[in-house]
Amino acid sequence: MDNITNLLGGFQVAIQPLNLVLASFGCFVGTVLGLLPGLGPINGVAIFLPLAFALNLPPESALILLASVYMGCEYGGRISAILLNVPGDASAVMTTVDGHPLALKGRAGVALSISAVSSFVGALVSTIGIVLFAPLLSNWALSFGPAEYFALMVFAVATLGGMLGGKPAKALLGCFIGMSLAMIGIDSGTGVYRLTFGSLHLSDGIQFIVIVIGLFAISEILTMLEQTQAGQNAIKLSGRLLFNAKELASSAMTMLRSAFMGFGIGILPGAGATVASAIAYTTEKRVSDTEGTFGKGDVRGVAAPEAANNASACGSFIPMLTLGVPGSGTTAVMLGALTLYNITPGPLLFESKPDVVWGLIASLFIANVLLVVMNLPLVGLFSRLLSIPNAVLVPAIAAISFIGVYGIHSSTFDLVLMVVLGVFGYILRKLDFPTGPIILGFVLAELMERNLRRALSISDGEIGVLFESPLSIALWVMATLIIALPILLRLRGRRNRNQTVSANDI
Amino acid sequence: MSDRIFSVGWLAVCLVIAVSMWQMEVPFSYEPVGPKAFPLLLAALMTLCCIVLIVRPDAGSISVDSPLLAKGAMLITVLLAYATLFSVLGFPLSTALMVMSVSRIFGGSWATSTVTAASIAVGSFLLFDRLLEVSLPLGGLFG
């Protein structure tokens, strides 16, 4: 019952005129950023974070803006996936598999509308999940001591590098690089300068926004140089623009199943929407593809990944809000936004800043409704935006990024540092480093170090305290498993392969 | 191959971090864990990751063709120049110059890039500085 009362309070925050305007604006711009190939949720949130801060928006309004941009991007990614066969953001990769064939058959309108409804269902299920589970989890998390927190963050880092990462060494190295960048500057415990190498500009450390914009906007601009012009071979919308009852009925169960799956994956710290949509698609293919139509243009093949990636995007708010440990790169950026406002994320947030938390949750409901209402009739307008040439788009992104960073400290040094970090980020991306872990590392480093130091000063330097409580032991075991299992499986796979090879030789 | 080059380079960075932490003088503190421990731990973990990448790099190398490299170098130069000239030339002028150059690099015609430059420079100045009160430098020319 408490949850309902709190949620109603949240709606009072979310329906304030300023917040409604911000939510609609965020939804629209988010959809546009999501549909433009290359720009995804993390870039969108990164570009708007400094603006929200420079505009002196109150924290709940800033979060509402960022959350609607985030959700809008998840909605927008499918448009280019279906019409162009190019995923607008990474989590829409699986949407191309059935979405584009549908468009080729002249059923683009059906694919777009069914995926919009799937996105709605996914986000709705997941937001209800937040209302039900987040307060429980935050209550439980209140009993965490520094040692448990440290173990939890080790688990988050391990999930990132482990089986869900694909490239464990690179994901982990990226995360540690982000942590090292966070070490630069004055140490809050002792007041000594670390890794500043005598530079006065670095004594305060690297500003979070400078890192975010450098890594996600500037490096994106450099990456866009390689893309061929978008918008030339987009399929024109024709035929029915809305699905019929039969198509909706056939995919209803798919949406629900995928939504639950996406929610579960979203809660895991470190695993994001891309993983969720891939798992949902392959599961759905196994469960319901009895006639072999998946991959050739099946509406269920569009419904599954879209429901899952939106559910996962919303689900990833749970670890961020309740534990203060972000579940994805994008929520890591939002966590950074909270710290800019001197709000410490974590279990106490629900008690100390209920208007911020519940305002955000309520605005997820509102943004979701706005998005589905916006996306069904306006899809024609959105698809025309695919033809914005890069010659106009890229300089605009550059100008907005510079305005955002300059607007905070009016510092030329920050601008130069941002470009340098952008080039560094570009090199990392060319080397196939995932960028999410870098920002996650940057955000986690301070928390991790603080909790480690606190835990060890409570125990007077005795390191056993980190492995004392059952909860921390469980977290350590899970972290070890998640790193070790894939390696063991690979080794076993190789041995089996070797045996078959030698058997064939004989 | 590129993985190996990067890892060797990053090993050098780890060494710099380790040496700099080692030499740092820390005032007396009551905490058992000082400011050195965590960065040193990170340097050690990164060294481990780099070694893994050197022993087992991902297949393939980055291939860069020279026209792309030239364009990339130009783009970086333009952005660095924009960063340094932002407050010297003022926002409207420096932005117009940046937008014009970037637009040309991305294949815009002279007409497109001129119109884009003028509209973004003036439009965003009016929007952010005047309407939304994010203060932007006007520069000597206009101020």
Chain segment B81-91, per-residue pLDDT in tens: 999 999 999 99
Going by C-alpha positions, the residue among A226, A165, A235 that lies closest to residue A426 is A226
The answer to whether residues A367 and A71 touch, using CB atoms and an 8 Å cutoff, is: yes
DSSP β-bridge partners for residue A185: A194
Q: Can you spell out the DSSP letters for A216-232?
A: IIIHHHHHHTTSPPSSS
Confidence at residue A276, expressed as pLDDT on a 0 to 100 scale: 86
Q: Which residues does chain B have within 8 Å of residue A431's beta carbon, measured at their own beta carbons?
A: 2-3, 6, 62
Q: What is the mean pLDDT of chain A?
A: 86
Among partner residues B49, B72, B128, which is closest to A403 by beta-carbon distance?
A: B128
In A, minimum Cα distance to B45 occurs at A176
Mean pLDDT across A3-20: 91
Distance CA(A296)–CA(A328), nearest Å, equals: 31
B58: contact with A, CB 8 A cutoff: yes
The answer to whether residues A14 and A363 touch, using CB atoms and an 8 Å cutoff, is: yes
Residues 374-393, chain A: which have Cβ within 8 Å of B? Answer: 389-392
A403: contact with B, CB 8 A cutoff: yes
Mean pLDDT across A450-474: 89
- Helices A329-340 and A436-458: crossing angle, nearest 10°? 60
Q: For A39-49, write each residue's pLDDT tens digit.
A: 888 888 888 88
Going by C-alpha positions, the residue among A3, A40, A10, A66 that lies closest to residue A365 is A10
The answer to whether residues A297 and A105 touch, using CB atoms and an 8 Å cutoff, is: yes
* Number of Cβ atoms within 10 Å of the Cβ of A445: 22
Mean pLDDT across A156-182: 82
Going by C-alpha positions, the residue among B72, B107, B123 that lies closest to residue A389 is B107
Q: For A97-137, write each residue's pLDDT tens digit.
A: 898 889 888 888 899 999 999 999 999 999 999 999 998 88
Confidence at residue A165, expressed as pLDDT on a 0 to 100 scale: 52
Confidence at residue A499, expressed as pLDDT on a 0 to 100 scale: 55
- Which residue type does A501 have? V
Q: How far apart are the first and last CA of chain B?
A: 52
Percent of chain B at pLDDT > 70 equals: 92
Tally of CA atoms within 13 A in the half-sphere of A403 that contains its CB: 30
Question: Cα dist. A254→A118, A239, A258, A304, B103 in Å?
Answer: 9, 24, 6, 6, 44
Top-confidence residue, A499 or B70:
B70
Per the CB < 8 Å rule, is B112 touching A176? no
B135: contact with A, CB 8 A cutoff: yes
- Which residue type does A444 have? L
Q: How far apart are the first and last CA of chain A?
A: 70
Going by C-alpha positions, the residue among B15, B132, B72 that lies closest to residue A403 is B132
Q: How far is A252 from chain B (nearest CA, A)?
A: 41
Residue A179 has pLDDT above 90, yes or no: yes
B89: contact with A, CB 8 A cutoff: no
A424: contact with B, CB 8 A cutoff: no
Mean pLDDT across B23-38: 80
Among partner residues A51, A190, A392, which is closest to B27 by beta-carbon distance?
A: A190
Residue A459 has pLDDT above 90, yes or no: no
In A, minimum Cα distance to B78 occurs at A419
For Cα atoms A200, A201, A204, give the angle at the middle one, nearest 5 degrees: 95
Mean pLDDT across A150-155: 90
B95: contact with A, CB 8 A cutoff: yes
- Which residue type does A145 have? G
Q: For A60-79, write each residue's pLDDT tens digit.
A: 999 999 999 999 998 988 88
Q: Which residues does chain B have within 8 Å of residue A421's beta carbon, measured at their own beta carbons?
A: none
Confidence at residue A163, expressed as pLDDT on a 0 to 100 scale: 52
- Which residue type does A185 have? G
For Cα atoms A489, A440, A466, give the angle at the middle one, nearest 5 degrees: 70
B138: contact with A, CB 8 A cutoff: no
A143 Ramachandran zone, left/alpha/beta (phi>0; psi -120 to 50):
alpha
Top-confidence residue, A226 or A133:
A133
Confidence at residue A330, expressed as pLDDT on a 0 to 100 scale: 86
- The count of residues in chain A is 506
Per the CB < 8 Å rule, is B86 touching A403? no
Structure tokens at A55: 């505009």
In B, minimum Cα distance to A54 occurs at B134
Distance CA(A3)–CA(A135), nearest Å, equals: 8
Q: For B43-64, write each residue's pLDDT tens digit.
A: 999 999 999 999 988 776 677 7
The answer to whether residues A138 and A320 touch, using CB atoms and an 8 Å cutoff, is: no
Distance CA(A180)–CA(A340), nearest Å, equals: 20
In B, minimum Cα distance to A447 occurs at B38
Residue A162 has pLDDT above 80, yes or no: no
Q: For A276-300, write each residue's pLDDT tens digit.
A: 888 898 888 888 878 888 888 888 9
Confidence at residue A383, expressed as pLDDT on a 0 to 100 scale: 83
Among partner residues B29, B56, B98, which is closest to A398 by beta-carbon distance?
A: B98
A452: contact with B, CB 8 A cutoff: yes
Highest mean pLDDT, choosing among A227-231, A412-416, B20-24: A412-416
DSSP β-bridge partners for residue A194: A185
* Number of Cβ atoms within 10 Å of the Cβ of A454: 18
Per the CB < 8 Å rule, is A398 touching B135? no
Among partner residues B10, B29, B50, which is closest to A190 by beta-carbon distance?
A: B29
Mean pLDDT across A142-153: 89
Distance CA(A214)–CA(A427), nearest Å, equals: 12
Mean pLDDT across A389-393: 88
Q: For A469-500, write each residue's pLDDT tens digit.
A: 999 999 999 989 888 887 787 777 766 655 54
Mean pLDDT across A5-14: 91
What does the H/E/C string look like for B100-122?
HHHHHHCCCCHHHHHHHHHHHHH
Confidence at residue A121, expressed as pLDDT on a 0 to 100 scale: 95
Q: For A16-29, write each residue's pLDDT tens digit.
A: 999 999 999 999 99
Report the b/e string of B72-110 with b at 16+ CB within 10 A. Answer: beebbebbebbbbbbbebbbbbbbbbbbbbbbbbbebee
What global pTM score does this model have? Answer: 0.85
- Which residue type does A494 have? R
Question: Strand, helix or coil at A203?
Answer: coil
Q: Can you spell out the DSSP letters for A34-62?
A: HHSTT--HHHHHHHHHHHHHHTT--HHHH
